[in-house]
Structure 1
Amino acid sequence: MSARLPLARSTLHSPVWLVPYDDHARHVRTTGVDVRLERFDAADGDWLPLDDRAVRTPSGALAFPGLGRRSAPWAAGPERHRVRLAAAGYQPLYPADGEPYAADVTGVEFLVHPYDDTHPPAVPAEPRLVRLLPGTSYPYPPRVRTVHGVVVDAACAAPVRNALVEAEGRTSRDLTPWHERTLTDTSGAFRLALRWEGDKADENATEETFRLRATERPGRTGALVVRLPRDAGRRHVIEIRES
């Protein structure tokens, strides 16, 4: 969890600003979000948990003011850190907007540059949006239709955890683009909302077609066609394979 940062306290020297964003509800969310900071230990090749507590700025960002402050900053080099988020019902999407998705990216990584009052950090920090995607336990409202299933490896049928499952299209009346997405859990299971209408054969058709896409990493994807309402209660299986 995080404390609120008083207005009088500066966050200019926080090496990272994160803005958790509820991707389904379309708003910033900081309450109920657990924030964990870790430092990479090059000697052991492992991530070490740190006790530094994130604070919440008035604008809704999570920051670590004072992280990297040293008495002799010129004597130390930058250190690799990462932040991991957790919230009930959500799974964080760590690659930034515009970056290719990879399931093995498990935190927001950044460098902490040493500084003091006369030697500012070498690299300024910019706010970074971290999207929180609805997980399998997300409390969708009763009228939101969803489809569920599992993502597996096509070669061995093993479940693929943390795979990105998406569907997108345009509304029929004004052609507004829509995009729904979720992440699989540790068992490869997913539950995806389909709030908008899919493709129809004609304007009077009752059946809608959706094309689901699953991504483990670039070059490892799978796809599936879902027709509603025919496939509404079916457990869908998306197979991931090399493309």
Structure 2
Amino acid sequence: GRVPVGEVTVELEQEVDGEWRATRREPVHTPSGIAYFPNLGLVADPIGASDQHYRVRVRWSMGSPLYEGGYPSGQAGALFTIEAWNQYHRPQSKPTAQNVFLLPGPTYPFPPEVWVLRGRVIDGAGEPVADALVEQGAQERVLSDARGEFALPLRWVSEGPLAIDFRDHLGRTAIHNISVPDDLGAGHEIIVA
């Protein structure tokens, strides 16, 4: 995609003795928005050295990251393993790139011509549900923030009835039916059960 609006930070953590610890490594950023960490696993003598486990965490000032292959709350980052190597002993396999989808949050500045459904996801006790996945078909998806609030853009829909799906990391779900554009002005409260 394109370089996102707002500030994006990418942090690398390494698993040491079963705990994730921040590293001092800074990512290299390409003009197209790719972040990578060169020379991970490079050691003087890789023979007998253990694989290294890493986690990349992304933060975005305008929304939330959704990590490929995992639900945001369950994984908390893009996980990968790097083999120890040097110029004489190359790793047997190369790590593959992982997509991190930056999903707009409730404060994202959508253009005025974009229809946006705004609301809040709560549980049966009325507590906000953070990181609930809010989807309109396979076209649009966002995550709720810490207050349970969301703003779902509806760029590809036409006027009329529409079903919005909700799912949280505990597997609780809801389907909310709306009519576009009539139901876009009010905040919607969605209960996942």
Please give the TM-score of this superposition, normalised by the length of structure 2. 0.88
User: Is 1:83 the equivalent of 2:56?
Assistant: yes
2: distance between equivalents of 1:126 and 1:234? 43
1:47-58 aligned within 5 A: 47-57=20-30
1: distance between equivalents of 2:87 and 2:102? 35
Q: 2:87 aligns with which of 97, 105, 117?
A: 117
Paired residues of 2:2 and 2:32 also in contact (CA < 8 A):
no
1:144-163 aligned within 5 A: 144-154=114-124, 156-163=125-132
Counterpart AA for 1:34: T
Q: Deviations over 1:158-190 (max 9, x none)?
A: 21111110112xxxxxxxxx6111111011111
1:169-180 aligned within 5 A: 179-180=139-140
Cα shift at 1:210: 1.5
Cα shift at 1:90: 2.5
RMSD: 2.2
Cα shift at 1:106: 1.4
Counterpart AA for 1:197: V
1:8-157 aligned within 5 A: 27-29=1-3, 32-42=7-17, 45-57=18-30, 60-94=33-67, 96=68, 99=69, 101=71, 103-154=73-124, 156-157=125-126
SS at match of 2:47: helix
Paired residues of 1:150 and 1:238 also in contact (CA < 8 A):
yes
Which 10-residue stretch deviates more, 125-134 or 100-109?
100-109
Q: State the identity as a percent.
A: 34
User: Is 1:230 the equivalent of 2:182?
Assistant: yes
Structure 1: 5+ residue runs without aligned partners?
1-26, 169-177, 199-206
2: distance between equivalents of 1:224 and 1:80? 40
Q: 1:195 aligns with which of 149, 155, 172?
A: 155
2: distance between equivalents of 1:162 and 1:75? 41
User: Is 1:186 the equivalent of 2:186?
Assistant: no
Aligned to 1:14: none
Aligned to 1:7: none
Please say which structure displays the higher CA radius of gyration.
1
User: Is 1:165 the equivalent of 2:134?
Assistant: yes
Please give the TM-score of this superposition, normalised by the length of structure 1. 0.72
Matched pairs, number: 192
2: distance between equivalents of 1:140 and 1:230? 19
Aligned to 1:240: 192
SS at match of 2:75: coil
Q: Deviations over 1:53-97 (max 9, x none)?
A: 111246653211111111121232112211111222131111x2x
Paired residues of 1:100 and 1:217 also in contact (CA < 8 A):
no
Closer, same or farther: CA 30–225 of 1 in aligned 2, 3 Å: closer
Paired residues of 1:102 and 1:218 also in contact (CA < 8 A):
no
Paired residues of 1:91 and 1:183 also in contact (CA < 8 A):
yes
